[in-house]
A and B are shown apart, each in its own frame.
Chain A
């Protein structure tokens, strides 16, 4: 379990880059405040895939109803850390 937000952000960026096969960006250069839909171009199926990988990685459940809220890497990282802290 890793509660450090910076590390969580980097790991999420890594997962997104890998799953979406993004080029010209690294986990370190990925702007955590980019809007994932408007600026990165991910759609609901991409997000569902990422959510499954995150479920594996962090052992948390990401509710389908929460997808619309998960608009940036930073918000996802905070969401994960909140879930980990609350033990959900």
Chain B
């Protein structure tokens, strides 16, 4: 479906009560303004293709002073940041610093490998990375029993959502992982391996693996609708041969020189020494922008392109599904609604 034949007025699109309700639901969260923070330069595992251990940021000195972090977060709040993403290398190794962040800005998410549990008082969303079944994890991440340990740490924890990163070598294992999480009443969303700059290993996707990934994602979304937080448009946006930047023109500072408005103005990516570099600032620094299909990038980049999706009810519904998914994945307590557009919509072209 292209939905491009007739251009509708926006008022006509949201005249549909179902679309209108979803639009009003998601627009309440337009106040979210994110920045990201590397919390530690240490990790308790070492995964092939990890973007944190690519580039210079891994060598930044670690600031372990809670008061320095508190002052930084206060300043961040002052300049309008309302949502923090605590990432690299492994935030669970510095729970006291994560707690300071939570005290200052109570909306956010933590990207963790899930091996060490985070204290329950840090009430952020927790994204637990999974890269295949435990045999594949052992091979790629050199860590045994990943899923077993993650599930033990986060069973019945409403903060947790598993983030399955599809690589060319684990596509068909996603079913086994999703089944296991479904059986345990847990949630999963999908990510795409996006190669770091200079990466030439076997995990870089090809047109064939992208197509196969789309097929498996579609099957799992249909079979496990209560477990999988995703939408048909997420599948389209993240599995095309063009990356997110080519499709949607990335709005993070690294690829966007404008400081006038939006992410180009407000987004910063702090390293462990509490410094940031505009030229490198994006949610997954040191990722090859041409290969970027990362879920975190899409959450901002696709969402920001509302205007171009407001062409007809199907395309706008697909965009609403994407935003509804993004909010459910990132904001604890936000409940995803049923997807409004079940068919794959072709992304509107860059102007």
Contacts and interface: CB of A to CB of B under 8 A. Distances in A.
B307 A48 contact: yes
Interface in B12-50: 27, 30-31, 33
B310 to A, nearest CB: 5
A76 interface: no
Q: How large is the interface on B (under 10, 10 to 19, 20 to 34, 35 or more residues)?
A: 20 to 34
B10 A55 contact: yes
Given A43-B30, A43-B33, A56-B11, A37 B260 contact: yes
A9 to B, nearest CB: 20
B27 A49 contact: yes
A64 B265 CA distance: 15
Contact of B307 (A37, A43, A52, A68): A52
A46 interface: yes
Given A64-B351, A65-B351, A71-B260, A56 B305 contact: no
A37 B10 contact: no
B307 A51 contact: yes
A63 B350 CA distance: 10
Interface residues of A, number: 22
Interface in A5-55: 37, 42-49, 51-53, 55
Nearest to B33: A43
7 contacts: A37-B265, A43-B262, A45-B30, A62-B307, A64-B305, A64-B351, A68-B260
Interface of B: 9-11, 27, 30-31, 33, 249, 251, 258, 260-266, 303-308, 310, 351
